[in-house]
Structure 1
Amino acid sequence: MDPERYETLLVAGQEPIGEQRAEAWIEAYGVPVEYIPTLRREPSLWDDVRALWWLWRLMRRWKPHIVHTHTAKAGALGRVAAWLAGVPVRVHTFHGHSLEGYFSPVVSYMYRIVERLLARLTHRIIAISPRQKQELVERFRIAPSEKFVVIPLGFHLERLDAYTPEAVQALRRLWQGDAQVPLIAWIGRMVPIKRVDKLLRAAAAAHQQGIPFRLVLVGDGPERAAWVQLAQQLNLPVIWAGMRWDMPVVLRAVDAVVLTSDNEGTPVTLIEALACGTAVAATPVGGVPDVLEGGRWGMLLHEPLDKTFVSFLQTLPQLQAQARAAMPVIRERYSHLRLLRDIETLYADLYPRR
């Protein structure tokens, strides 16, 4: 944001165990940050009340003109605190959502009720894809269509150019070993909604048919132990790569990236893979069809997954050509400069300078 027009304060909570703060990025951009230790992802009445009180006091002291919230917990407490503090403009961005698939039907229904109430306290709600907006308006009835605006994600995708061909080849040799087979990667946080169990079963079916490939799982999370056990039961060779910070190298060392989630917002993994010209395939959930333009830039993995996964492996050269064609389009569409223009236009519309 233009520092001559906007004075910005980032308010962040306590990161979950196993995750790290993006301190390098914060320091690089020189963003002032205030951490609230009681603002946590896990539900806790006592911590949530204290976080709400902390946020309200902060807003009364800082007197912002605009409060823009992200994620479910911070979005709820932040918007309530901003409303109580009399902040003139309140904006919320849905990245993913917890309205379906994460909890029991009863709990999911309660979440939808809460989000509908919060929408009444919100001047504008940002959806990150047209399909997500349609889902939030028509399926979950969070708010009327006119309260939404679609602003796609934006990233410094130029950082993905920080690699050397030698590093790419070294990692590829490490993962391939003596077998010159395609490397198929899954990248993400290992939680139930990502449904890596479906991927493992589909990959095992393809492996039993003798189709050559090697599966690489990049990331970590609470489901890893269960998925390791499942892969062993399926007799499926898997490379468990763990957490890695050299994504420009990883995304070029593999032949394709695949996601089999039950729910997604706009998957950053697919955007970054396509920005590197790497083939992708994913289940058609959330904003995935928007990113892939209905299959123009990658394959949509419909059920039955074991059959479409085999088709994906068999058409890999075609998908790689699609990804190379998508690369300049994706880099422009999901540029951080485009995101900044869109956000500044929205802010100016909601709070015209006096």
Structure 2
Amino acid sequence: MENLIECESNGRDRIRILHVQLFPMLSGVQRVSLEELRRLDPNVFDRHLLTCEPGPLSEAAAALGVTCHYEPRLKRSISPLNDFRTYQRLREMMRRERFDLVHTHSSKTGVLGRMAASAAGVPCVVHTVHGFAFPAAKYPAVRRFYQWCEKRCGQMTHALVCLNPDDRQIAINELEVDPSRVQVIANGVDIEAFRPIENPADRIAERSKRFGGDPERPVVMMVGRLWNQKKPQLFVRSAIQLLQNGSPAEFYLAGDGKLHKQLEDEIAEAGVADRVHLLGWQDDVDSLIPLADVMVLPSLWEGMPIVLLEAHACGVPIVASDIPGNRECVNDGVDGYLVPKNDLKSLSDRIALLVNDSALRRSMGSAGRGKIVERFDIVHRQTTILELYSQLLGKRVDS
């Protein structure tokens, strides 16, 4: 990471750092940010978090001693007047707080947050790309607008963190970000918190406590926000199709969002509400994921979905869409399967293959766990993040 802009010393005892997230729930993107804040030494860093409103993320952060800020104008939807006012409020807040480093996450907060940090004179601006949204835009004009925003903000960014090599190439080739400012840092998992339940009887007992379905049936699970990017509709339609064909599995969808009512209606109309279960938001995914036999993620785009790494850490094989980000998590045919996105038949076929073969599930799950221990331990990721911060700040910082 040569040629990165170094921060000047401000004379304060601790480094003031702000992480910016849009929503305060504890989904994958937010948990990445929470883990980064958790592992920063509070004697070295004065840690701050900004979201649109209080919620599970800010509660968990506050319990760690992180100072939480809220900007209710911060919305996912695009509204030029509201977004400009939000930018102004963020800029003034960053000027007032005199942060040494602002670290933004995802698209909307990445644009407004980086613009505000740059205008406020924040010495170090870092952005993590959790998957570029603009390549999947439905309309060319929308794609060009999103791409232009990302390109402009790339010029204000001292370090752009990509979770996979495909996004790094997009940043360099399409957004024209200086390659020296773009770094690939894969997500990581706490391999002690996320681990398999080795005794089958213990897994059945835990399922009995937590779920309403038959605890001895194979469990197929999806964990993610219920919005179109994650494609939960495909998971539900696959479950309906498989059950109509006699599948022995129980299907669980953990998450919430604007598609909840639509999915609930589809499940009810198909008459499978006793076998397809909507669990709502689940903050304790470390105890939820080990109860699965198969993890499914049919997303349209991703950076590097933490839930897939967590599933592998728990010894659970995966069926996921064949897209950048997912490809970094799943070794096709070894620890899971990659299927074409929006392909209901391929998704259902691969799920059925794993549901009907317990030996295959065990071998793939074991391979996934071994990969996480070797390559995706959270300790390695945090060390790399701290090395990046050290280069930007111009002084050594340790966890």
Same fold (TM over 0.5): yes
Q: Gapped runs of 5+ residues in structure 1? A: none
Matched residue, 1:322: 364
Matched residue, 2:74: 39
Matched residue, 1:149: 183
Any conservation in 1 of the 2:58–2:68 contact (CA below 8 Å)? no
Any conservation in 2 of the 1:168–1:249 contact (CA below 8 Å)? no
What SS does the aligned partner of 1:217 have?
strand
State how far apart, in whole Å, the 1-side matches of 2:156 and 2:324 are. 25
State how far apart, in whole Å, the 2-side matches of 1:182 and 1:95 are. 31
2:231 to 195, 198, 212: 195
State how far apart, in whole Å, the 2-side matches of 1:170 and 1:314 are. 25
State how far apart, in whole Å, the 2-side matches of 1:68 and 1:283 are. 29
Any conservation in 2 of the 1:176–1:183 contact (CA below 8 Å)? no
Matched, 1:302 2:344: no
Matched residue, 1:29: 64
2:101 to 41, 66, 71: 66
Any conservation in 1 of the 2:188–2:309 contact (CA below 8 Å)? no
1:158-307 → structure 2 map (5 Å cutoff) = 158-160=192-194, 168-173=203-208, 175=211, 177=213, 180-236=216-272, 237-302=275-340, 304-307=343-346
Change (3 A) 1:250 1:348: closer
Kindly provide the amino acid, as one letter, of the partner of residue 82 in structure 1. Answer: A
Matched residue, 2:167: 132
Deviation string 1:8-50 (CA, Å, 9 cap, x unpaired) is 34241214xxx93323421332122333333333334444333
State how far apart, in whole Å, the 1-side matches of 2:282 and 2:127 are. 30
Deviation string 1:206-240 (CA, Å, 9 cap, x unpaired) is 33333322221122211111122223444544122
How far 1:77 moved relative to its partner?
1.9
How far 1:120 moved relative to its partner?
1.1
Matched, 1:98 2:133: yes
Any conservation in 2 of the 1:172–1:254 contact (CA below 8 Å)? no
Matched, 1:311 2:350: yes
How far 1:277 moved relative to its partner?
0.9
Matched residue, 2:24: none
Change (3 A) 1:89 1:233: same
Q: Which has the higher contact order (CA 8 A, sep 6+)?
A: 2
What SS does the aligned partner of 1:41 have?
coil
Deviation string 1:148-170 (CA, Å, 9 cap, x unpaired) is 10011234443336989787424
Any conservation in 1 of the 2:226–2:256 contact (CA below 8 Å)? yes
Any conservation in 2 of the 1:185–1:258 contact (CA below 8 Å)? yes
TM-score scaled to structure 2, two decimals?
A: 0.77
Count of residues in correspondence between the two structures:
349
Matched residue, 1:351: 393
Kindly provide the amino acid, as one letter, of the partner of residue 175 in structure 2. Answer: R
Kindly provide the amino acid, as one letter, of the partner of residue 226 in structure 1. Answer: Q
Kindly provide the amino acid, as one letter, of the partner of residue 366 in structure 2. Answer: R
Decide which moves more: 104-113 or 27-36: 27-36
State how far apart, in whole Å, the 1-side matches of 2:282 and 2:99 are. 37
Any conservation in 1 of the 2:334–2:367 contact (CA below 8 Å)? no
Matched residue, 1:336: 378
Change (3 A) 1:41 1:205: closer
TM-score scaled to structure 1, two decimals?
A: 0.86
The percentage of aligned residue pairs carrying the same residue is 28
Q: Gapped runs of 5+ residues in structure 2? A: 1-39
Matched, 1:116 2:148: no
State how far apart, in whole Å, the 2-side matches of 1:45 and 1:11 are. 24
Any conservation in 2 of the 1:66–1:89 contact (CA below 8 Å)? yes
